[in-house]
Structures are given as C-alpha cells and as structure tokens.
Chain A
Amino acid sequence: MPHFDDFTPSQGPGPFYTMTLLYDNHEVGVDPDSADAIRIKGTVYDGGGTPIRPPDALLEFLQGDAFARTITTPQGEYEVLMRKPARIPLRDGRLQAPFIFARIFIFPLMESFETRVYFSDEEEANSEDPVLHLVSADERGTLIGRFADGVLHFDIHLSGENQTVYFAPEEGPSIGDAPETRVHSAIHSFAQ
C-alpha cells in the first residue's frame, strides 16, 4: 500500500477560500426546474454538539454531472440542490442504492472526509446496498437522509457517538498515517 508521502500531501483549505471556491449559485448542483431536483438540508456538528460556523465547514456534493458546493450558516446549517440518482452498479455488477457522494473539509483538519447520502424512502434498495452492508448496524443510520416535507434532511456529526460514517479509498488517504485516526482493518481485508 502506498505511503502518504508518495503523493502531494493534503492540506486544509484554510479560512480564506470562499473568494475562489464559492461562485454564483454554488449551492445549485442541477437545473432547479428539473423533475428530479431534490433539496438537501442539514446541520454540521462537532463531537460536543456545537454547530460549525462559517467558514470552518466546506461541503461538496457530487453525483454524475451534478455538483454543488457550500458552506454553513452561523447556525451550522447548509442547503444544496442535487438530484436523486438512479441505482448504479459496482464494477462486479452488484447494484447500489441511490446515493450522493459528499466531501467534508473542516478547519483546521489537514484531510477531507468522504461520506455518502442515502435516501430513507429507498428501504428495499438500501437493504441490498453492498456499502451499507459493510457498515455496522448501529452506524448505518448516519448515512441515510430522512425525507420530510419534500426535503432530504442529512445532519453531519464530525465526531463522537453519532459520528457520520466516513469512507476512504484503499490507496490513501494519508489519514491512515495520522496517529489520531484509524481505518477499519477488518473491513479492509473483507473488501479485498
């Protein structure tokens, strides 16, 4: 497995990134008039339940050609417009449930984290999803957004008992070399 210094190291975006990374309609990831557009809202909390104020949380949502980027409000809240995707197969043919990739950049952490936003109204697809199956039952709920009033609610907990599950590719990230964090070695051997 490659070591982190085989690559250009990750750094945090710092506090002064909005001048470049936020552009007009940055939070709008799809055509707002499209039939499958879906609003995602949530709050970002630290491990003590304190909302993350701007500009300390930078969030990116990505699926296919849909891409939205935003920061939190002073209350820690975010809102983006994305689309609910179709079920996409893994390369081995197994179907995944509909989900959206999310990447989280948190000041002053040097690494970003990746998670997945699943949909609460897809119970059957979720029950078959190979990635949700890898996640322990008590953590699975942190990945599933809840529908209410036509909006998907997805809170993000950075640490603690309710921490949102994060995923890492085999090849990195370098966080595996940080003394503070660990990767799930049992899952790693299973996934191989």
Chain B
Amino acid sequence: MSDVKYELVSPAMHPAFRLRVPSRELYQLPDDWFETSSGPVFGRVPVRPGDNDLLHMGEGPPLGPRITLKGRIVDSDGRGIPNALIEIWQANAGGRYIDQYCNRPYLPLDPNFTGAGRSLTDSSGNYVFHTIRPSGYAGPAGTTLWRAAHVHFSIFGPNLGNRLITVCHFEHDPLLAQDVVFDQYKDQKGKDRMIAKWERAEQEEEGPYLRQVYNWDIVLRGAAATPMQR
C-alpha cells in the first residue's frame, strides 16, 4: 500500500528478533494523560561539573580528533527545553566502547577516554560536550556491516512523552551511505535530523589544539511546558 518509511527491526537482523516486536495494537492516549505526573526529577542520576568534558577525564589527552559537539534541544513548538538531562556514550578513536558488554575485545582501549558523559541543558535549551570524534566500527565477526561514526544520546525532557534515545552521526561521513542501522529510516528528512553539521575549526583557549565544532539540534515530541506552567 504505502511505502515503507521506517523499519522497527532491521531486515539484516536475525528473524528470531521478530518475537520481540509487539503483536497487539498500542493504546493511544491523549498527550496530557502522560503529563499528569510531575515528570522525572533526576536527582538520582548523578550529573557533576565536568561530566560533559570527555577530553579531561584521564591523565592525558585522549586519542582522536577533538570536537565540540553542541546544539539546542527544542520541543515540537520550537521552544528550547531547559534542564533536560542528556547522557551520552560513544566509541573511542579505535571504534572500541569501554562497556562491559562490548564484544570487540580485539579493538584497542584508550586509557584516557571513557566515552561516557552527562549534562543538563541551560535555560535556553543549549547543551555542549567536549569529546573526540569516534571511529566508525565493523559489525560482529562474520558480517560485512560497518557502522558510521556516531554518539548515542539519551534525553529526558520535562514530560514522559519526550523521553528519547537517539544517535548523532557526522555529516560528510561516507559510511552513512551503507550503514544499515542508520538506513532503517528511509526518509531523508528523518535521516538529516540525526546528522550533526560541521560548523568551524576553533583554536582551544589553552593548549595547542585546533578543535572541530559540530552542531546538532534535537527536536523532541510533545510540548516543553509542564502542566503547572500551562
């Protein structure tokens, strides 16, 4: 009937994963039924000063090109979302995650890079991370998949409806053209929303490094206003 615009599970995945796809219809509820909760208070997720600076978590500088990854989180009306919690995780410059479940132990660790960060948006919805541009990486042994370079983002807005986990890619990455995970969105507009734009090169205030600045804005579903503000 209509063109497939979106694949919930990639056809490249094992057929057994179909047993994880809901077989019953979802019940749709009015948006405000999701907002009657006062929304998450993230006092239980620790966010410390410096958690957004992945360049200075080790004893020395991490390997890889240094970048500033910044942007603005807005609601569906285009208003900036203040105090949104952002959590990120990414591979190092060799394509390796430090995660306990990382199944590529043959890729190198970087003792000066964790790849884990947290931050809150400011009063206008702006965020910034100081990190390295990760390497793309090959899929598990036996596949021919290469993932484009990416940083995972988890975002908590003020309402339950605008919880989002998504992925930031980098423009001009040739691997984007053959990344089957990225390609689960067939629609170019949706793809473009998951790609950070190269903005400029910028001299760091201290030290010899010339950093690349990328901008990535994020549009959440739902309105930013809390019920009490409405």
Contacts and interface: CB of A to CB of B under 8 A. Distances in A.
Most buried by B among A20, A48, A135, A172: A20
Contact of B25 (A63, A90, A179, A183): A183
A166 B20 contact: no
Contacts of A183: 25-28
B47 to A, nearest CB: 10
A65 B43 contact: yes
Given A111-B8, A159-B20, A171-B161, A16 B194 contact: no
B76 A180 contact: no
A88 B89 CA distance: 35
Contacts of A21: 87, 89, 154
A166 B26 contact: yes
Contacts of B115: 19
Contacts, number: 253
A103 B161 CA distance: 11
Contact of A191 (B29, B98, B99): B29
A170 B223 CA distance: 12
Contact of A158 (B19, B31, B163): B19
Interface residues of A, number: 86
A52 B19 CA distance: 11
A111 B143 CA distance: 24
A171 B190 CA distance: 16
Given A19-B114, A166-B22, A131 B29 contact: yes
A130 to B, nearest CB: 8
A62 B114 CA distance: 28
Interface of B: 4-10, 13, 16-38, 40-46, 76, 87-89, 91, 97-103, 114-118, 152, 154, 160-161, 163-167, 181, 184-185, 187, 189-190, 193-194, 218-222, 227
14 contacts: A13-B154, A17-B152, A17-B154, A29-B44, A47-B23, A109-B8, A109-B21, A110-B184, A131-B29, A158-B19, A169-B30, A170-B31, A172-B222, A180-B8
Interface of A: 2, 4-21, 23-25, 28-29, 46-48, 50, 52, 54-55, 60, 62-65, 67-68, 88-91, 96, 101, 103, 105-106, 108-114, 131, 134-135, 139, 158-160, 163, 165-184, 187-188, 191-192
